[in-house]
A and B are shown apart, each in its own frame.
Chain A
């Protein structure tokens, strides 16, 4: 069920009505039922996957906590008779038992993810008869809910959150429908704070949620989906569309990706808000970042945090890396020796991040290029800081703008890996910008032949300016709070205006291909 489909709007309307009336006392149960309906609407077989994942983390979570609680009880009962050494040995044994449950649970769930996302596509290349099974085998949003579920069980293991004893509540955490297909990847501690509470209808909060949903629709339907056909046309034929076309693609895809992904997340957060549930923000004006490092703190925040919390930290504090760190310091000296293990952990994170996005080499190279550029940034940071200090550039607007532009161009170039099927096509297309000599296509009307009319360009351009203006205003504080504080007439004008703009200028219905959100494919 596409977020931008009539079916989904009807689905939401019914949910809102029931949520604040008949099911006021059982809101989370209603949400669970609707989440499963939403998921089953994509394909009933998907329910088997998500139920299995839920069951495994439920059992693992309870066992991990049970072992911990039992051990505490035991230690309390023998605290006078047990030696420090025996206590340590006992605790190590307990931790080992908990770890067994954790690791087994992670292996099973990541095994399924790897099986459906990486092994099955390989099997497809050998046996084309399996292609019709694709929709059944690869469940919607598995990359997202697997990370979320794994995060929960790790948090229980770490003692950050208590294990959820109610299977239904845990099932809702894993399957909460707005964030099921493209995130944000919530942590149990964050989402559960408002997910299970009883929420009374609050017109102000509800309207603010609807406002956020409409803003998401604006980005998705007025901007992203209007640009979509041109992006698809150019990236779909890398032999034909080279040079200037690729340059157009670089810019347009970067805009499309932003409008599509942030628009989708706006819808998710808006739905959450309308239900009284707080969903984590996933973006913080990423295209205003001055460095790639900053960009990755501001783009897809919850995914980056997940990899940082559950991959980077465990890897960098692992015994193996600690030993390597010692060896490295001895061999390469203190400065380089300290950094090399960090870079190694970071390498693993970016390799996995690339793989998480997709099974192709394109994503692996994309991940590793990000890693390389981030490491280069780290290495050159001291030198560039010194230079900026010396030349007194740091606070100058032009220099700040240069850094933002530089980061934006870098992100644009990296995004190209999303557009093509292979590394060869991506690199070939990128190089063609410099050696094809057809930059005139950017201004001679050739682009108008590819699914975007001049009117579409003007409209998308205005849409981008609106997004930019909103982002600039947001730097000085929340625009939505300002709208909320304004008189009713002004607020109504914004809402009605936004509604009419989406209604008339949105790329939906007959004549447009309803497109899924880009991040849904990852």
Chain B
């Protein structure tokens, strides 16, 4: 009997090890093509998660604000918890999870994702949800995000989802099996190249401009969580020229912010004050800002955070200064690398 139990345990161990190795091999590494899948997990590697400002949202946050610039200009210790097409319920659960590590003074939420009442894309779900550490927040985020063709068990055992990648494995899949690749600077995804905004496609008329119940529900939950935790919630709309941000949408957010006494900044309306020039400050014709644009946004918004929200200057904190100094080296190195890459 004892021998049998030992054998069973050995078999289970071997299976666990093999499944773990296969999972690590087959999961997308988000290194060379789509790097956004790496953004969420980088937060956990932060040695000090004592951030005063945390941004939540989709590409309109992680490409449009430079935390490094905010640190350099105002000593604001901030982080962006955003990923591609991150839905509002995912932002909510990331905020909830963030609070389990540390309570920020300000939570900045980009309201672009209010337009979605259901998850639109399974691959985007995976990019946000897979890198999250297991917690009640992750479980709830998965349950809120799953599309009809998804199964919860695929999140518990990602190999069930990604096993079909066996035929498209690259050298990087082996290289990054047991290590990760850092792609962001405190959640900011840097691009320094320039592609001026040209003709922006005309906005399509919608049959209904109302945001959905689920989207509102999670905005309410986010607001209530911030109230409970003593966090100031700031709503923003990043200055992306496309996809179109409708006036009807803006009015709904403005009313909501007024109703609950929240700050709401639509950067599309203050882009001249920020100093944005869409001939030089975007790398994809107006969808997202490049480094130049993101740093201008950081200067403008950092001033707001400092003056209106009372976010402290932490440059007196030597431990933090040391961390940011290391980050600055990497930040500047990437700028140099991209200069070479884009021949600038």
Nearest-CB distance from B5 to chain A (Å)? 11
- Complex: A504 Cα to B169 Cα, angstroms: 13
Residue of A nearest to B147 (CB): A510
Most B CB contacts (10 A, CB to CB) among A488, A504, A512 go to A504
Contact present for B154 and A510 (CB under 8 Å): yes
Q: How far is the CB of A219 from chain B (nearest CB, A)?
A: 17
Instruction: Of the listed stretches A98-106, A332-340, A492-500, name the one at the interface; the rest are far from the partner chain.
Output: A492-500
Q: Are B7 and A488 in contact (CB under 8 A)?
A: yes
Q: Which residue of A lies closest to B7 (CB)?
A: A488
Within 8 A of B (CB), among A73-100: none
B15-23, B30-38, B136-144, B256-264 - interface stretch: B15-23
In the complex, chain A residues 86-139 whose Cβ is within 8 Å of any chain B Cβ:
none
A443 at the interface (CB under 8 A from B): no
Q: Please determine whether A509 and B164 come into contact, CB atoms closer than 8 angstroms.
A: yes
Nearest to A453 among chain B residues (CB) is B167
Q: Is B166 within 8 A of A504, CB to CB? A: yes
Which listed residue (A453, A488, A509) contacts B160, Cβ 8 A?
A509
A496: B residues at CB distance < 8 A:
11, 14-15, 18
Judged by a CB distance under 8 angstroms, whether A382 is at the interface is: no
Say if the beta carbon of B289 comes within 8 Å of chain A.
no
Task: Give every chain B residue within 8 A of A459 (Cβ-Cβ).
Answer: 167
B interface, size bucket: 20 to 34
A492 CB to closest chain B CB, in angstroms? 5
Whether A499 contacts B159 by the Cβ 8 Å rule is no
Q: For the complex, is B122 an interface residue (Cβ under 8 Å from A)?
A: yes
Residues B154 and A499 in contact, CB atoms below 8 Å apart: no
Q: Name B154's contact: one of A453, A456, A509 (CB within 8 Å).
A: A509
A203 to B8, CA, bound (A): 11
Interface check B161, CB cutoff 8 A: yes
The answer to the question of B26 belonging to the interface, with a C-beta cut-off of 8 Å to chain A, is: yes
Chain A residue nearest to B122 (CB atoms) is A510
Residue of A nearest to B160 (CB): A509
Whether a CB of chain A sits under 8 angstroms from the CB of B344 is no
A117 CA to B74 CA, complexed, in Å: 76
Please determine whether A503 and B167 come into contact, CB atoms closer than 8 angstroms. no
Contact status of A512 and B164, CB under 8 A, knowing A6-B151, A503-B19, A503-B22: yes
- CB-based contact B164/A499 at 8 Å: no
Q: How far is the CB of B15 from chain A (nearest CB, A)?
A: 6
Q: Looking at the assembled complex, report how far the CB atom of A461 sits from the nearest CB atom of chain B, in whole angstroms.
A: 14
B283 nearest CB across to chain A (Å): 31
Whether B26 lies near A504 (C-beta < 8 A) is: yes
Known contacts: A6-B151, A509-B154. The answer to whether A500 contacts B164 by CB under 8 A is no
State A456–B153 Cα separation when bound (angstroms): 25
- Interface membership of A469, Cβ < 8 A: no
Which of B11, B19, B164 has the most A CB atoms < 10 Å from its CB? B164
Contact with B along A1-24 (1 / 0, CB 8 A): 000001000000000000000000
Minimum Cβ distance to chain B for residue A300 (Å):
32
A453 to B166 alpha-carbon distance, docked (Å): 12
Whether a CB of chain B sits under 8 angstroms from the CB of A455 is yes
- Report how far A507 CA is from B166 CA in the complex, Å: 11
Q: How many residues of A contact B (CB 8 A)?
A: 22
Residue of B nearest to A5 (CB): B151
Whether A477 sits at the interface, judged by CB under 8 Å, is no
The answer to whether A203 touches B4, judged by C-beta atoms less than 8 angstroms apart, is yes
Q: Contact at A509–B163, with CB atoms within 8 Å?
A: yes
Are the C-beta atoms of A510 and B15 separated by less than 8 Å? no
Cβ contacts under 8 Å, B19 to chain A? 500, 503
Residue A505 at the chain B interface, CB threshold 8 Å: yes
A509 to B163, CA, bound (A): 9
Indicate with 1 or 0, residue by residue over A452-475, a CB within 8 angstroms of chain B CB atoms: 010110010000000000000000
Shortest beta-carbon distance from B203 to chain A in Å: 32
Question: With the chains together, A77 CA to B26 CA distance in Å?
Answer: 79
Inter-subunit contact B122/A499 (CB<8 Å): no
Whole-angstrom distance between the alpha carbons of A6 and B167 in the complex? Answer: 23
Is B343 an interface residue, CB under 8 A from the partner?
no
Q: For B8, give the chain A residue with the smallest CB separation.
A: A203
Q: Is B149's CB within 8 Å of the partner chain A?
A: yes
**A456 nearest in chain B by CB position:** B167
> Is A511's CB under 8 angstroms from B4's CB?
no
A506 within 8 A of B: yes
Is B73 among interface residues, defined by CB-CB distance under 8 A? no
Chain A residues whose C-beta falls within 8 Å of the C-beta of B15 in the assembled complex: 496, 499
Q: Which residues of B contact A507 (CB under 8 A)?
A: 164
Of B10, B151, B164, B166, which one neighbours A511 at CB under 8 angstroms? B164
Chain A proximity mask over B121-154: 1 for CB below 8 Å, otherwise 0: 0100000000000000000000000000111011
- With a CB–CB cut-off of 8 A, which chain A residues contact B153? 6
Asked whether, in the complex, the Cβ of A455 is within 8 Å of the Cβ of B163, the reply is no
In the assembled complex, the CB of A305 is this many whole angstroms from the nearest CB of chain B, namely: 39
Question: In the complex, are the beta carbons of B161 and A510 less than 8 A apart?
Answer: yes
A-B contact pairs, 28 of them (CB 8 A): A6-B153, A6-B160, A456-B167, A459-B167, A492-B7, A492-B10, A496-B14, A496-B18, A499-B15, A500-B18, A500-B19, A500-B22, A503-B22, A503-B160, A504-B26, A504-B159, A504-B163, A505-B163, A508-B160, A508-B163, A509-B154, A509-B160, A509-B161, A509-B163, A510-B122, A510-B149, A510-B161, A511-B164
| 5 further A-B pairs in the complex, CB-CB below 8 A; given A509-B151, A509-B160, A510-B149 | A492-B11, A492-B14, A495-B11, A500-B18, A510-B154
Residues of A within 8 A of B (CB): 6, 203, 453, 455-456, 459, 488, 492, 495-496, 499-500, 503-512
Top 10 closest pairs, chain A to chain B, by CB:
A455-B167, A504-B163, A492-B11, A6-B153, A511-B164, A504-B166, A509-B160, A500-B18, A510-B161, A6-B151
